[in-house]
Amino acid sequence: MSAARHAKVTKSRREFLIQTGAVLSAVSLVKGGLIYGHHVSEDNTIRLALVGCGGRGTGAVADAFSTTGGPVKLVAMADLFGDRLEGSLKNLQTQFPDKVDVPPERRFVGFDAYRHAIDCLRPGDVVILATHAAFRPVHFEYAVQKGVNVFMEKSFAVDAPATRRLMKAAEESEKKNLKVGVGFMWRHSKARQEVIKRIHDGAIGEIHTLRIYRVHGPVFTPRLPAGANEIEFQIRHAVCFNWVSGGFFVDWHCHNVDVACWVKGAWPVEAQAMGGRCYPDAGNLFDHYTVEYTFADGTKLFAFSRHMPNCWSTYSDYAHGTKGSAVIMTDLSDPKPKLYKSQKMVASEEIWRYPEPDVNPYHAEWQVLLDAIRQDRPHNEARRAAEANMATLMGRMAAHTGQYVTWEQAWNSNFQYVPDIDKLTFDSEPPIRADNEGRYAPPLPGTSQEI
């Protein structure tokens, strides 16, 4: 996509609810003596399958159970590791005994477990895709083929070819009128919706600068134990390995990048970045990144990501315009979104703040998704997920390679961490190997290839 064309992409493409195209003709499935239509069963129960039973996947099930409007039940689970599945199941059964029905025959372990779990669902049900990002395009693709609705956690892909695969499946999900929610829960925060609406209405003038921060304590991995299976080790410590999770800049900072681009109403067209590693136990990542994104009109987005001990920390987003500035979010002393009439961001120049407690966005995103299923309303966030993922990948590419990267270069990159991810097993050659001390080499700008 050229910069000129990129600048002309309308905001509607990125609106909170993406309008979908053609509607899938009714599909019927006979099961257990009942006929199920495309959307939801006659008893109004939406059934869930959980693929990826870590903390976020388990939390997503709990968030689904928080909704109103009809019954929700967990009926199948899948994970690479049996201990994670059993731990998640025990947790959910303890908290929600009447909403969990996952007998042993609907518990699946292994690289193909996702297929078996999805196959337990009917059209109108929802699969939760909460594995690490390396597997997301494969799992999403299969769910779309099977015609089930999807909730998929961020991040969504680890390199450009995987993101293109995700986008292709997103386009197919739109054609089938599937309902797809993604893990950008801040899009469902009433506080952020309100402050961004005011910015779009001109409250701080034309945006010229955005700043986003995710700087906090370290996420280190232990050294590879002697004799350990490297594929298993790296997956179990996924956030420290680019090929598994995209690395923490992509896996975590994608939230902030998405919010900043929501504020701007566009995706960046270029990025340059710097980063490095001070602590050797950060897997094969840098432990700090600084990215300068440029939008088509020259607006700058500065992204700061650092994961080190004993350093200043914050999780915050800010916008600056020709007539004032805004706190989009912050974890500092006064967290509510605010608008100011200047760049000082001092109390005396505050002109508005969000007046009430925010909703729980993790619950809100699920309410929107399940309401859309029950009422057959358009709701598909998959395209935006792919675009936000690419914007974040573009920043990581720039940092790791030391090159100035354009939106077109990022989308067209053929670099892949695991070309045959569909065929990966614990016996496969690891995408990266530890040295003799059990540590992993970080990217080397000027040499590393990700474009």
Interval 122-146: pLDDT, tens: 999 999 999 999 999 999 999 999 9
Over residues 166-187, the pLDDT tens digits come to 999 999 999 999 999 999 999 9
Length of the chain equals: 451
pLDDT at 386 over 90: yes
Domain 190-359+392-415 has CATH 3.30.360.10: yes
Which sign, positive or negative, has the C-alpha torsion 83, 87, 92, 93? Answer: positive
Q: Which residues contact 25 (CB under 8 A, 6 or more apart)?
A: none
- How far apart (Å, rounded) are the C-alpha atoms in residues 191 and 336? 8
Which sign, positive or negative, has the C-alpha torsion 220, 225, 231, 236? Answer: negative
pLDDT the model gives residue 14: 33
Q: Which residues contact 109 (CB under 8 A, 6 or more apart)?
A: 78, 79, 80, 81, 82, 85
Q: Are 15 and 377 in contact (CB under 8 A)?
A: no
Does the bond joining 155 to the residue before it have cis omega, within 30 degrees of 0?
yes
Ranges of each domain in the chain: 3-186+363-381, 190-359+392-415
- How far apart (Å, rounded) are the C-alpha atoms in residues 157 and 409? 17
pLDDT at 348 over 80: yes
> Which of 3.30.1330.10, 3.40.50.720, 3.40.980.10, 3.40.50.2300 would CATH assign to domain 3-186+363-381?
3.40.50.720
pLDDT the model gives residue 40: 59
pLDDT at 26 over 60: no
Label residue 342 left, alpha or beta by phi (over 0 means left) and psi (-120 to 50 means alpha).
beta
Q: Which of 17-26, 98-107, 233-242, 338-347 has the lowest mean pLDDT?
A: 17-26
84-97 mean pLDDT? 98
- How far apart (Å, rounded) are the C-alpha atoms in residues 281 and 439? 7
Confidence of residue 333 (pLDDT cuts 50, 70, 90): confident
pLDDT at 366 over 70: yes
Q: Are 48 and 63 in contact (CB under 8 A)?
A: no
414-424 mean pLDDT? 95
Amino acid in the structure at residue 206? E
Let me know how many helices (H) and strands (E) the chain has, helices first: 14, 17
Label residue 324 left, alpha or beta by phi (over 0 means left) and psi (-120 to 50 means alpha).
left
pLDDT the model gives residue 115: 98
pLDDT at 33 over 60: no
Over residues 241-300, the pLDDT tens digits come to 999 999 999 999 999 999 999 999 999 999 999 999 999 999 999 999 999 999 999 999
Q: Are 213 and 304 in contact (CB under 8 A)?
A: yes
- Across the beta sheet with 149-152, the strand order is 107-109, 72-79, 46-51, 126-129, 149-152, 180-182
Cα 370 to its chain centre, rounded Å, is 19
Structure tokens at 290: 């600084």
- How far apart (Å, rounded) are the C-alpha atoms in residues 233 and 433? 11
Please state, in angstroms and as integers, the Cα–Cα distance from residue 321 to each residue in 166, 244, 324, following that order: 34, 38, 5
pTM listed for this prediction: 0.90
- How far apart (Å, rounded) are the C-alpha atoms in residues 414 and 188? 34
- How far apart (Å, rounded) are the C-alpha atoms in residues 86 and 104? 10
Confidence of residue 22 (pLDDT cuts 50, 70, 90): very low
Please state, in angstroms and as integers, the Cα–Cα distance from residue 337 to each residue in 342, 431, 443, following that order: 15, 42, 37
Cα 326 to its chain centre, rounded Å, is 24
pLDDT the model gives residue 42: 58
* Backbone phi and psi for residue 91, each to the nearest 5 degrees, phi listed first: -60, -50
Structure tokens at 305: 């990501």
pLDDT at 331 over 60: yes
Reference 219, options 137, 305, 139, 337; nearest CA is 305
